Structure 1
């Protein structure tokens, strides 16, 4: 075969017909797809360039498809997805059904590798439904293989095994040895997950034999990696390390970064299991770097956690905290993206279901279908409400308030599962309208239907609990208290998001035969929404806890290392959030102090105010109350926005890294900051001497707000108890730049204080001060190439002057124009 390829490569150099050259490039590219994916990609890219230039449309579509295929083999899944979408569009335009299904099958595989199971299942289901449209059985076999992977990752091993076995038969029928090896490898993974290690190893070895026969270095490396992981599970670390290093050596020759990332991660994990931290760290660092490059978020988070553990074990607390922060930032970003995607998906699904059911109701005019549609609409509405909330209590009560519109619910409950402790929290249960006290229990409790549903990841369907309970918990002598006492019918549905069980939802009735399969379907559909909502609420709570834990850790380290970077960050966080909370508390108090609507006045006006003068006066009074509330709400919103912006700015404040700069209207930022601090400034005269309506400076609004906030807070502190308190704020063009001054007529500072005013942790406020505010202001000004000075005399006041350089102004004017 090699001689044949060399012959074709020589033939390539002599071809003059461009179409023939494209076809030969594609043929050579497919030969190298497993032996050397990078070289295969180069041939496919060359074919696409020539085909595009000469207008060879079918050749161009097939070359683009091959590029996507090779990028997948190289672990570049995002780039592969872009190319496959382009190929699908081209095949559809050409009405090439076989090419379209082939590209759709590979797109499903890439969606799976990117963790998008929903889209992967949609793609692969269409492929399997299109068997009659194509003659190539290997495409169906490949789709079955990927379906098996998805169900395996979802821990649905029965379905996974079914798809793998059907796919294996198809591959063997077509003589596709590479496909056969792929499924054997996946069966090895499945049996490993089930703890059947001997079966797992036999399938891996069968796979390895085929891949060696096929001279497939990438496949060999992956199989050796899996065998090494299997040995590691069994505690045979020497064998595991040998397999991993062998896989790493083979992969070095083909340069597959995704495979290299997983191998390094496994070696690092192996050393971690043996508590050989220093040996683990280089491999984990390499795995983290490669995982970031190939955008494998799950692997990156896993390796970062292992790195944090390794450094913590070695006493490198600063490095451990750094890796924890990186891990937290990645997971936070993933949560934000996932939350938005879930909401969008649920909204789109709601609209699609709504239109579909409207069409069916109109067409069939079926009363039963109309009722079903109403239930789906209600489920979707409930789902939208609860997935839009991050409050656990709101989620629980919202579901309960609506459940009786869907089905009979004499008893209703939602239980939360905590896998880390293997405990079930019976958080919310209402029976006969009365909410019962929360309880906790073990997931291994053989007398609990909730525990059975969680352990088995299956529903419980009871229409005669006195007899049917035996099918689930045969050791139970009588229906337990948590099942409702008099309960005769019950449904229990495990709440699963992605592949994790997060709880159970149950409805119960005192009547026998209360539920139908349709009720179970509705509760299952509602359970999908509940699972997403609970997971969002859990993630939000964990995020808040992570922030609280971070603050606690920073305070503890500040006590022993006050000048360390972690201590500085802790003080900055405290300083900023104190200011932000101060900006929220007064508006809230203002809102709470407003009088309620006086119905007696309105009725009095209705009965006796013929001319309407009294009513008009009262309405004007209410309008003023409303204006106060609206203004206070705006101030709270501004403070909330500033809080989010402060969190985003923490990395820049702590590490010297800045986000992308923008042109900030500092006059507007000043007004916002003054409004936020109005509660502190209400007894102080604010004099603004600003030459122009707008000054735009290349700086983040968060940085500028921090500067203004510090000056206002410090000035207010200096003016405490002074009757003629005044702050004068000036902005003007000066020396080709912009100059900002904050002057107060407070108590002033001594020369000694002025010399130390910008030192970290120096404060004149005693226990009330952090000593970090002006340090932060100076850092921001210096970073932007500016200058800051202070002039003060005791008993007369203090003036701070900031100047930003000419370059910033010129850039601002250019962008402004």
Structure 2
């Protein structure tokens, strides 16, 4: 039976009501908002309400973003954008662009975020969407806040607040007050920060906005923690947990639990801090927060390391390493997907007035985008700097004229930009450095000011930037562009291209250089990070294989080395000796002088045993407590006995350097064998251990030996 107009209108009204309820629920209960939006989407699709389908996709995407499901968020927001663009629904289109920008900010792909926001801002201004304009200004402010560019962030937040006051958007005003308060918090202006937090809090209480209240309570908890008022801080954080659970916003709940853990860490309450870190981790795992995990695991690792929980620190460092690799791969894939999406977006915009007028330019931009995508993928697929530079030079001339190309990386020690890559007309020039004090360098200016520079007549334009112009290397180039290499707000270097002709570069070239610089910065940072991770892995390896107190090998490494030395002795038909060493009367040292002196005795003995090995093939490890083990490859029973007695003589030096009256002595149990496939390592060790027991029974400070 065909559907009547009344039936269709009733269903259309039902969808609109569901979407309105979802919008309101988003601030209180994102699970409810998601449920309502999915119901609206189902009805809209069934009855072909295209406009409402776009709205529902946008709402679902926002809910996924709030809940930390970033892949799903991008999928739904992209669907909304595609549909709203096709039917010319400018309002929903802006909402979708804002949503995508929000996701990219959260996962720290800032070049894509600003691209989405600026498109949304242009459309909002053209159509008089004041509420959306204020949101975008607010979100751009958030980006600058994340980059610690606080004056610019305050400026955008103030513009957002002014717009919300102009259009009487009270909820938008509350958001602006909250964000302004956070900036003042970062600037350490606690009074202004608290004033703005309470303005936001008042609105949240009056209008029962659970999500807003959760953020307000979290911010006030941080503020009072910083002031040193722990009871008041905990009170606000407890309220924040209540509102976070009420709104089902796991992201803010994670942040509150992490703040709680930090409070207890500073109070030196290990158990409570450990408990809250575990709760925060459970929440993070629940929503799959890949982007937050590296920073969180690193924080937890520092916490465990500070509290001498070295096994837990080691595990956390390993998890940090794994999480970092996952995040980098996610970012790489998101950038690839984003580039593909932008190409599709440009194709759909071909029908608009601007793109009809610029169809030839658009076709050219498609080609450039394709080349740019290939360059980005090539550079970010390797962690070797020389290959990154090679890909850059081979491809950049496909985008623009680059007779000269240079990449300078900041050297912290010399406070200079070091150019290991500077190519002019196909020739690689010798490396050189530019001091940051150089007032005549465009590269230095771009680096220090974090700005892209485009010059088309160097002799006329230099006064805007530098004291005087000069050719650093090679021929004088009349056109040039310089872009800072930035990753997560940190400037790591500068990228430049130059051409001999005047007016070589357009605004489009500048945009391409900016995007290319983002890829280059990420590729260089990844290469550097890979080197750092290799160093971290080595540190973790040392941490896992060495005893925390004595810094000599631990039981874990002993097990591995012993197996290898046993097999080597079998293969080479050599004798093998093992010594079990125990500090005599160690419990008395602890009881009489305290654990600090006891620990010092263990360290001194360990150092002596390790320093007086016969050669580099001997292996010394802490076996446990006050007991040590020494493996002596290619050592027969006579040589082992002489060596054991030499150690006992050397040990007399320890007592002289400690504030103890009793001499420090050791008992030694020794066993020598000729290993073969029929013999047991465990029996070999147990014989040495039994000889140690005999030494103890014979009055201590002696050597007992046997063969196997």
| Length-normalised TM-score, structure 1 | 0.54
SS at match of 1:752: coil
Aligned to 2:176: 183
Per the alignment, residue 522 of structure 2 pairs with 532
Kindly indicate whether the alpha-carbon contact (under 8 Å) linking 2:407 and 2:495 is maintained by their aligned counterparts in 1: yes
Unaligned runs of 5+ in 1: 1-16, 575-747, 760-817
Note the C-alpha offset of 1:122.
5.4
1:550 corresponds in structure 2 to 540
Distance in 2 between residues matched to 1:134 and 1:464, nearest whole Å: 38
Correspondences of 1:608-623 after superposition (within 5 Å): none
Contact 1:459 1:492 in 2 (8 A): yes
- Residue 282 of structure 2 is aligned to residue 292 of structure 1: no
Question: What SS does the aligned partner of 1:285 have?
Answer: helix
Deviations 1:504-556 (A, max 9, x none): 123579x8979766676665454344323323322333343333333344443
Unaligned residue ranges in structure 2 (runs of 5+) = 1-9, 566-674, 686-708
Per the alignment, residue 679 of structure 2 pairs with 752
Q: What does residue 503 of structure 1 align with?
A: 493
Deviations 1:437-477 (A, max 9, x none): 55596x68878654543332113567898997775566xxx
| 2:195 aligned residue (202, 207, 228) | 202
The Cα shift of 1:325 comes to 0.5
Tell me what 1:148 maps to: 141
**1:330 matched to which residue of 2?**
323
Q: What does residue 237 of structure 2 align with?
A: 244
| Alignment correspondent of 2:633 | none
Q: 2-side partners of 1:121 and 1:303: how far apart?
A: 26
**CA shift digits 1:580-617 (9 cap, x unpaired):** xxxxxxxxxxxxxxxxxxxxxxxxxxxxxxxxxxxxxx
Deviates more, 1:189-198 or 1:528-537: 189-198
> 1:277·1:311 contact (CA, 8 Å) conserved in 2?
no
Instruction: Map 1:7-86 onto structure 2 (within 5 A).
Output: 32-38=25-31
Please give the alpha-carbon distance, in whole angstroms, between the structure 1 residues aligned to 2:51 and 2:442. Answer: 58
CA contact 2:451–2:483 (8 Å) conserved in 1: yes
Q: CA deviation at 1:219?
A: 0.9
* Paired position in structure 2 for 1:494: 484
* 8 A contact 1:284–1:304 mirrored in 2: no
Distance 1:264 1:513, change over 3 A: same
2: CA distance, partners of 1:338 / 1:41: 26
1:728-781 Cα deviation digits (max 9, x unpaired): xxxxxxxxxxxxxxxxxxxx9643359989x9xxxxxxxxxxxxxxxxxxxxxx
1:464-479 → structure 2 map (5 Å cutoff): 472=465
Following superposition, the deviation at residue 258 of structure 1 comes to 1.5
Note the alpha carbon deviations across 1:310-343, whole angstroms, 9 max, x for none: 1111111111000010111011122233334445
Query: Displacement of 1:176 after TM fit?
Result: 2.5
Q: Confirm or deny: 8 A CA contact 1:284 1:306 kept in the other structure.
A: no
Aligned residues of 1:77 and 1:294 also touching (Cα < 8 A)? no
Question: What is the deviation of 1:291?
Answer: 1.8
How much has 1:218 moved relative to structure 2? 2.2
* CA distance in structure 1 between the aligned counterparts of 2:126 and 2:346, rounded to whole angstroms: 29
Tell whether the 8 Å contact from 2:94 to 2:124 is kept in structure 1 after alignment.
no
Specify whether residues 473 and 92 from structure 1 end up closer, same or farther in structure 2 by C-alpha distance, changes over 3 A only. Answer: closer
In structure 2, distance between residues paired with 1:373 and 1:24: 41
1:305 aligns with 2:298: yes
Q: How many residues align?
A: 560
Question: How many Å apart are 1:126 and its aligned residue?
Answer: 5.0
Distance 1:229 1:212 in 2: 19
Change in CA separation of 1:573 and 1:321 when aligned onto 2, cut-off 3 Å: farther
1:276 shift after superposition:
5.7
Whole-angstrom CA distance in 2 between matches of 1:86 and 1:354: 15
Q: Tell me the residue number matched to 1:229.
A: 222
RMSD of aligned Cα (Å): 5.6
Distance 1:570 1:755 in 2: 14
Give the conservation status (yes or no) of the 8 Å contact 2:111–2:518.
Answer: no
Check 1:319–1:190 CA distance in 2 against 1; reply closer, same or farther (3 A cut).
same
**1:45 positional shift:** 6.3
TM-score between the two structures when normalised by the length of structure 2: 0.61
Shift of 1:502: 2.5
Task: Give the deviation of 1:269 after TM superposition.
Answer: 3.2
Question: Kindly tell me: are residues 425 and 271 of structure 1, through their superposed partners in 2, closer, same or farther at Cα, counting changes over 3 Å?
Answer: farther
Aligned to 1:268, the other structure's residue is in SS state: helix
